[in-house]
Amino acid sequence: MKIDVLTLFPSMFEPVMSESMMWKARDRGLLDFQAHDIRGYAVDKHRTVDDSPYGGGGGMILKPDVLARAIEAVKADDQSPVILMSPQGRLLTHAVALELSRHARLILVCGRYEGIDERVRELAINDEISIGDYVLTGGELAAMVLIDAVLRQIPGLLGAEGAQDRDSHADGLGGLLEGPHYTRPAEFRGLGVPAVLTSGHHAEVDRWRRRQAIKRTWQMRPDLLARANLSDEDRAFLAQLMEDAGD
C-alpha cells in the first residue's frame, strides 16, 4: 500500500513511522509512506500557506491555491481517495479501517488552523474522516491513528497469530470487546488467575472467555451489544447478568 500525507509538519511523522509495525511494513515492502510538506507548494517569497477568513472572525485558513497544488502534485490517479482528516468527517471505525485497507493508495490531507478553504474541499477532497469527537490542533495525529488502524488490517503484518481477527471491534468475537487476559506469575500482589485458565479444559476456557467478553461489553460499551452477533446461549447469559445486577 502507498500512503502519501500532505502536512505542514512532515517531521511529526518520523518517530511514529519508524516505530516497529510501521517500520516492519516499510521494510517488507508492504508500505510505501511519504510525507509531503505543503509549504513546498507556496509560491510567494514568504512561502505563505494561510490567510484570514473572509467575513472576519478568528483563526487562519489554508490557502486554496497552495493546498490544491500540493494535492495535484501528489495525486497520480483517480481511484485513490484523497482523505481530509477532520472533526467533521465520518467516524473512523474498524469497518472504515478495513474498507480503506483495500485501496492500493491513500492520500491523507492534514489541515491546521480552523480548516481548509471550502472550494478545495469541493474540488479535491473525496472523503473526510474523524478519529473521534474532539478537535486537535492539526490533522497529523489523526492521520497517524488512521494509518496504524489501516495497516494492521493488512495480512502478514501482525505475525502468525493474526490477532486482527480476534480484536475488539473485529468480527472474531462477533462485535464484542475482548475479556480479561492474564500471564505469569500465578499470584500477583495477592491476586490470582481464574482457575479455569490453568485447568487445561479448552472447551471450558472458550466458554469462560465468551462469557467474559459479553460481561465486559455490557459493562463498558453496552451500545455495542445491539449490533453484536449473539447466540441463544449468549443471550441467556446476558439476561442472567442483567438480572443479577438488578438485585
Grid coordinates representing 9? 509538519
- Residue 195 interacts with ligand 4G0 (CB under 6 A): yes or no: no
- Separation between Cα atoms, residue 83 and residue 96, nearest integer Å: 12
3-state secondary structure at position 12: helix
39, 87, 128, 221: the active-site residue: 87
Q: Of 206, 101, 129, 224, which is closest to residue 169 (Cα–Cα)?
A: 224
* Minimum gap (Å) between residue 41 Cβ and ligand 4G0: 17
For 112-145, letters b (16+ CB in 10 Å) and e give: bbebbbeebbeebbebbbbbeeeebebbbebbbb
Show contacts with ligand 4G0 in window 103-142 (CB under 6 A). Answer: 111, 114-116, 130-132, 134-136, 138-139, 142
Is 227 an annotated catalytic residue?
A: no
Q: Which is nearer to ligand 4G0, 115 or 175 (CB)?
A: 115
Is 167 an annotated catalytic residue?
A: yes
* Minimum gap (Å) between residue 157 Cβ and ligand 4G0: 23
* Minimum gap (Å) between residue 134 Cβ and ligand 4G0: 6
Asked whether the beta carbons of 31 and 22 are under 8 A apart, the reply is yes
- Residue 52 interacts with ligand 4G0 (CB under 6 A): yes or no: no
Show contacts with ligand 4G0 in window 207-246 (CB under 6 A). Answer: none
Q: Which is nearer to ligand 4G0, 144 or 230 (CB)?
A: 144
Is 152 an annotated catalytic residue?
A: yes
| ω into 185 cis (within 30 of 0) | yes
37, 51, 167, 178: the active-site residue: 167
Is 4 an annotated catalytic residue?
A: no
- In whole angstroms, what separates CA 118 from the centre of its chain? 25
Give one DSSP letter per residue of 170-197, joined into a string: STTTTSPPP-----S-S-BTTB---GGG
Q: Which residues are catalytic?
A: 87, 114, 152, 167
Binding site for ligand 4G0 (CB under 6 A): 85-88, 111, 114-116, 130-132, 134-136, 138-139, 142
